[in-house]
Amino acid sequence: MEVKYELVKQTLRQEIISGKYQINEKLPTESQLMARFNVSRYTIRRAVGELENEHYIYRVQGGGMFVQDWQRHWSADDANKLVGVISTHMADYIFPPIISGIDSVLSEKGYSLIVGNTLNNHDRERKSLLNMLDLKIAGLIIEPTQSALPNPNLDLYQQIKEYHIPTILFHASYPQMNFPCLLTQDEAAERELINYLFQLGHRRILGIFQIDDRQGANREQGMIRAYQEAGVPITDSELIMYQSSDQVSAILKRVDRIMNLADQPTAIACYNDHLATTIIGHLQHQGISVPGEVSVVGFDNYDLAQTLTPTLTTANHPKRQLGEDAGRMMLKMINGEQVKSITYPVPIIKGTSAQALKEEK
């Protein structure tokens, strides 16, 4: 008598071979398969686990199960042709170009990617790291979670170091681990954005920064440095600091409170372009003209932000370049070569969301 998991496995295998599910096509979820075959989650996981070992499917953590290129010749070495990529926000506009850049380099050498999404949560980061270790991956490319805060998962990073797993960090570093890093000059770029607002006549600037990530903390520091170096009293500014777990609605309420002050800010500097476009929409909904009454600047150069009205003044994050460099560095590390960390300049892009302050009559 055929056991349940074997029935599930053979049915899915036949459907893949017959072409019902194409290569790289997403398969039904575990819950959908449980309902279809009327079996437990354990049964489904055992069946798909064997299909994964036999190279009929692959998983994207947080994204589901997909059909593997089962017709290709798989050699024994392919077990080590898997590179793990862990990001804080997989759906964020920054991440897709980065992973595309990584994949464009690694896939040419026969490597595949498995992606983990921490949602900037340390518990999820721990699970992602443990999953990657279980898979015996060839290397890891990691965006540290809540990188401005103490990390309870440093024991796993230490284990990765002791296992000599080629590992690259991006957007933040753990100096005690001595992993090569890909960083951006966030503080310098934010300082340049604030100086640009100074040139336009703005002094009363509201800065809104996510401070549980090192990038946000550095950008906030860049704003403070700009005030100090320009000799403008820092008391002329306003600051809103928030964490990645905070609701956008709560942030907007704090913005409203400050914008309703008698001496309201004439410009707003945002942690990233996603927040900047949200702020612009919120202000416009209230009848406040951008940039007519308030100038707004972002950070990262989100492609769609340049199609909006007004176009966004921002700083250009080297998204795809960072990914391609990460891929090339990983190949060198897998081959036992030494690599050096890279820090990218982040030039500003002047859109129409910031304009010269109008003189009061």
Could you say which DSSP state residue 182 is in?
Answer: E
Helical H runs in the chain? 4-18, 30-37, 41-53, 95-106, 122-134, 154-162, 186-199, 214-230, 248-259, 273-285, 319-334
Say if 1-71 and 186-316 have the same CATH topology.
no
Angle ∠(281,217,180) on CA atoms, nearest 5: 115
Residue 101 or 304, more confident:
101
β-bridge mates for residue 84, sequence order: 114, 140
> What six digits make up the tokens of 194?
């604030």
The DSSP code sequence of 54-80 is: TTSEEEETTTEEEE--TTSPPPGGGGG
pTM of the model: 0.77
pLDDT at 361: 40
- In this structure, the strands spanning 342-344 and 348-349 are unpaired
Question: Cα torsion at 124, 214, 271, 91 (round to 10°)?
Answer: -30
Task: Report how far residue 166's alpha carbon sits from residue 331's, in angstroms, rounded to the nearest whole number.
Answer: 9
Closest listed residue to residue 55, CA positions, set 75, 36, 37 = 75
Under the banding of pLDDT at 50, 70 and 90, the label for residue 71 is: low
pLDDT at 50: 87
Task: Report how far residue 90's alpha carbon sits from residue 96's, in angstroms, rounded to the nearest whole number.
Answer: 7
Under the banding of pLDDT at 50, 70 and 90, the label for residue 360 is: low
Instruction: Give every CB contact of residue 101 below 8 A, 6+ residues apart in sequence.
Output: 319, 320, 321, 322, 323, 324, 325, 326, 327
pLDDT at 5: 84
Closest listed residue to residue 148, CA positions, set 106, 70, 209 = 209
> What six digits make up the tokens of 96?
């897709």
Under the banding of pLDDT at 50, 70 and 90, the label for residue 219 is: very high
Domain 186-316 bears CATH identifier 3.40.50.720:
no
Q: Tell me: pLDDT of 74 over 60.
A: no
What interhelical angle do 30-37 and 41-53 show, nearest 10? 110
Q: Tell me: pLDDT of 259 over 90.
A: yes
**Model pLDDT for residues 92-115, shown as the tens digit of each residue:** 788 989 999 999 999 999 999 999
User: H or E segment at 168?
Assistant: strand 167-170
Q: What is the mean pLDDT of residues 33-44?
A: 91
CATH number for the domain whose boundaries are 1-71: 1.10.10.10
Q: Tell me: pLDDT of 76 over 50.
A: no
What single letter denotes the amino acid at residue 186? D
CB of 44 within 8 A of CB of 30?
yes
* pLDDT over 70 percentage in the chain: 96
β-bridge mates for residue 85, sequence order: 115, 141
Q: Tell me: pLDDT of 359 over 80.
A: no
Q: Tell me: pLDDT of 260 over 90.
A: yes
What single letter denotes the amino acid at residue 359? E
pLDDT at 246: 95
> What six digits make up the tokens of 263?
């001496």
> What six digits make up the tokens of 212?
């549980």
Task: Report how far residue 234's alpha carbon sits from residue 280's, in angstroms, rounded to the nearest whole number.
Answer: 24
State the chain's maximal CA–CA distance in angstroms: 90
The pLDDT mean for the chain works out to 91
Q: Tell me: pLDDT of 52 over 90.
A: no
pLDDT at 211: 96
Q: Which residue has the tokens 């890909």?
A: 182
User: Measured between alpha carbons, how far is residue 350 from residues 88, 157, 290 in Å?
Assistant: 28, 40, 14
CB of 266 within 8 A of CB of 290?
no
pLDDT at 223: 98
Question: Cα torsion at 319, 322, 327, 331 (round to 10°)?
Answer: 180
Q: Tell me: pLDDT of 77 over 50.
A: no
Q: Tell me: pLDDT of 147 over 50.
A: yes
Task: Report domain extents, the chain.
Answer: 1-71, 186-316
Specify the 3-state DSSP secondary structure of 231: coil
